[in-house]
Structures are given as C-alpha cells and as structure tokens.
Amino acid sequence: MSFGYQVLGFGGSGTAAVSGNDNGIMGFGYASGPVSITNLVSNIGVCSTDVSGVGTGRNGLAACEFGGDKGIFGYGGSPNTAVTNLVSNTGVVATDTAGVGTTRLAIAACSFGEDKGIFGFGFPATANATAATNLVSNTGVVSTDTAGVGTVRGQLAATEFGGDKGIFGFGVGNDYVTYVSITNLVSNTGVVATDTTGVGTARVNLNACGYGGDKGIFGFGRTPMTGVTNLVSNTGVVATDTAAVGSVRQSRGSCEYGKDKGIFAYGENGADTNSRNLVSNVGVVASDATGAGTARIELTACSYN
C-alpha cells in the first residue's frame, strides 16, 4: 500500500443520538492531489456542489459527530498529520486546530455517548499500524492517545449504533495483504473492547454510517472491489453479507442524513466518481444516483444539525 494515490480505507460515520441529525457533510480527499473541499448533504440525501476548502487538504482522514449536532474532521495524510477541523451545526468548517496524538492516516472514527466521538487505529508515518484511539469531548476537544485494544490495523471503517455506542470493523494489518472482518465495540463511555470474530467479507477501503436512528451499516470496499453491505443491529451484531446494489466502489464517504437514513458517495470503481447510493431507514441500499461536486477518493463524512 502507498500513501499517495493508492486508495486507502477510511471510515465515515453517522450520528450518535437515536433522533439523528438532519444533514451531512462530505469532505477532503484526493483528486489529482489532496483537497479540502466539502459537499453538504441535504435532508433528502442530495449532495451540493463544491464548497471552497478550509484547512489543510488531505486524504485518508476520518470524521465523526460531537456535541449532538456538530462534527469534526481529523488526521489524514499528505503528509501525515493530526490536525482537526470542527464543523458547526450549520455545516461550516473551521480552520485547522493543532493536532493531538499520533499522526496517521487510514484511520476511522465514530460517535459514542450521544455527544462525544472517537478516532482510532490507522497507519502512522514511520511505524506499523496502531490500535491507539483519541477521544473527542462534547466540545470538540481531542485527547491524547489511549493505548490500543484489539488487532492493529488501518483502512477500516466505524459507525455508531444503539444510540450511544460505536463499532470499528474490517481493515488490514501491517502486511497490507491479510484483510480482516473483525470488529471492536465502543462502549457509551468510549472504551474499546477486544476483537469480536469477524462476520462477512473481509475487506479494506470500505465505509460505514448510521441509519434507522440506532443501527449501522458497513458497505463497499475492496477484496477485490465490491458493493456488499453488512448491517449492524442496535446491539452491535454484524450481519452476514447483503448482495451488492449499484456499482462496486471503494474509498467513499458515508454519513447519516434525514435523521434516520444514510448515504455512501464518491469513491472509485476504475475511475473517480461523485455518484451516490442512499440507505433507507431500514437499511436498504438504493441503486446509483447522480452526484455533484468533484469526483474523488479517500474522503470522509459526518452528519450535523
């Protein structure tokens, strides 16, 4: 795996609260180079045209919600960094906040505890994969590293479930060859559990988000490239593969919208794309829909409002 154009896997996320957030934001990524542009997602799942980028352009980052209605983009590469950018409850992205914790990319993030978040795992610049995590307070402050629990890996994904818990899943370890489907649950106080035996197709470069107010979904990725999905129940149980709908793709962005629905967008299927696939409030993935904005890979997304 390289850390330039080679697609990596990054986690998207939805919302922590059962009531959900109404809007989403897709941001950053790689399009002939790292970018910081964003695209807002309406409450009916429509992506906006590009919003001029704020902060350091980078790929391989992650995002999650905090404070119940706000979001945060963090970490990523080109070169590896730990900087973060807060997202207001109206979808406005702030300038860079100095990084805290290990700089890395191919990281994932999700919310927990209804108003907090967690970044975890990934590939540091000069070291093997890590399982370290960094908690995000309900005011968007990122903590220093918490010692990792579970299998070290990157190119994974994460989502919230159950209204106040989270789950990291899938990815690849230091050999960049052995894909896994193991998961690690996150409690409502941000404690990461040891490995749970994997279910479904082991893969990388997938994404995840919340839907239905208290459930989650992992989708797409490479193993080789696929469009299969795996639903996550409100108790954190991952289901076996659901057959792919729409084009196979990897390195997408994903988040919740409309309070109880989800969206996968952008990514790559031989060429960069900006198309999208909506997820209903019962976890059914729709066929490809026309997108908007710059086609790109290695972006991330979260919900807000």
| Cα separation, 165 vs 69, whole angstroms | 16
Reported as a single tens digit per residue, the pLDDT across 52-104 is 999 999 999 999 999 999 999 999 998 999 999 999 999 999 999 999 999 99
Asked if the model's pLDDT at residue 127 lies above 80, the reply is no
Confidence of residue 174 (pLDDT cuts 50, 70, 90): very high
Q: What is the CATH number of domain 23-304?
A: 2.120.10.80
| Cα separation, 212 vs 123, whole angstroms | 32
Percentage of the chain with pLDDT > 70? 94
pTM as predicted: 0.93
| Cα separation, 76 vs 55, whole angstroms | 12
CB burial of residue 240 (10 Å; 0-12, 13-18, 19+): exposed
| Cα separation, 176 vs 108, whole angstroms | 17
| Cα separation, 169 vs 284, whole angstroms | 20
CB burial of residue 90 (10 Å; 0-12, 13-18, 19+): exposed
- Residue in the structure block whose two tokens are 């309900």: 138
Average pLDDT over residues 224-238: 97
Confidence of residue 165 (pLDDT cuts 50, 70, 90): very high
Tokens describing residue 152? 């070290």
The two beta strands, 207-211 and 215-221, are: antiparallel
Average pLDDT over residues 29-39: 97
Tokens describing residue 88? 């207001």
Percentage of the chain with pLDDT > 90? 91
pLDDT of residue 225: 96
Please check whether residue 209 is in contact with residue 217, taking contact to mean a CB–CB distance below 8 angstroms: yes
Residue 106 sits at φ, ψ, to 5 deg, of 60, 40
